[in-house]
Amino acid sequence: MTLDLIKKLREVSKAGILECKKALNEANGDYDKALEILNSQFIAHEGNQRVASKGLCNVYVEGNQAILYEINAETDFVSKNEVFKSLIDTIAKPLLDSNVSNAVDAKKVVIENRTVDQWIQQTSSIIKENAYLRRFYRVLKDDSYGFGTYIHQGGKVVTLVILNKDSKDLARDLAMQVAANTPTYLDIKYIDQDTMNYEKFMFEKEQGHFDESLFHKHLEEISLTSQLFIKNPDLKVYEILQKHQVEVIDFFRFELGQGIDSKLSCRLDIPCDGSKITVKPIYGAKL
């Protein structure tokens, strides 16, 4: 048994030094067997029945693909925990390289002989909190389109914007806009009648009466293209888009714990476990 072997085992398993030494002794110095022993010892932490609504979200882009996902745990402390943050980073590229499009299948993706779910269980055991992958989403785009991403507070909010041109700076600015101003819709003109009726109902319920001009102002505030541009409040987003001759195709916003209390996952009404998701958004991509 060598210090290098203990160090390697500790880096991979995230277990303590004493646990690594014990596993190596039990495995007679065989690294693979020791790692297998440690992995078998990791069990999901039962916690104290707190709702697992904390944790981190992530958005990861490579080429014409992007993924967004959220891993929840019980307390805010995990967002600063190096083991938990390492988990978020470790699973990003393997998940993107896989072809999965929902959280159920994402949990089954294998990374270094362990499934994503097993990686999460291992982390859960180390941080002594329940942890689970709550949602996962994949987006595909055409070569000519552009992605913009923004990660706020290390993953409390993550956003993705798809433009019809590859305009990186503007795409990032708009992703920041989505993070800061929380738009519900892309453009008022795309709101269907049933949704419009719902918005009118909710507006009247909250205000106690219905005022057409105030309602229109409300719609502008929750629609991305009619919001004031955060980097130049003298202009609206649609004016910035016209100036650059660019269109926003779509946007996504994951906020930590979003919808847990109301049992809704996000603005797209994706089931929390992703079990009913069988397709992925494809923007202009030629498959």
- Exposed, middle or buried, 153 (CB in 10 Å: 0-12/13-18/19+)? exposed
List the chain residues with pLDDT less than 70: 1-2, 14, 39-51, 261-279, 285-287
Q: Mind listing the pLDDT tens digit for each residue in 126-185?
A: 888 999 999 999 999 999 999 999 999 999 999 999 999 999 999 999 999 999 999 999
Secondary structure of residue 265 in the 3-state scheme: coil
pLDDT, residue 159, reads 97
Query: Do 3-41 and 54-187+223-283 fold alike per CATH?
Result: no
Q: Rounded to whole angstroms, how far apart are CA atoms 179 and 152? A: 7
pLDDT, residue 270, reads 45
Domain extent listing, the chain: 3-41, 54-187+223-283
Residue written as token pair 């007679």: 28
54-187+223-283: CATH topology is Tetrahydropterin Synthase; Chain A (3.30.479)
CATH assignment of 3-41? 1.10.8.10
Q: Look up residue 118 and give its DSSP letter.
A: H
Q: Rounded to whole angstroms, how far apart are CA atoms 254 and 266? A: 7
pLDDT, residue 268, reads 41
pLDDT, residue 40, reads 67
Phi, psi of 277 (to 5 degrees): -85, 115
Secondary structure of residue 67 in the 3-state scheme: strand
Asked if 24 and 50 touch (Cβ cutoff 8 Å), the reply is: no
- Exposed, middle or buried, 34 (CB in 10 Å: 0-12/13-18/19+)? buried
pLDDT, residue 14, reads 64
pLDDT, residue 42, reads 57
Residues 6+ apart with CB under 8 A from 180: 230
Model's pTM, two decimal places?
0.80
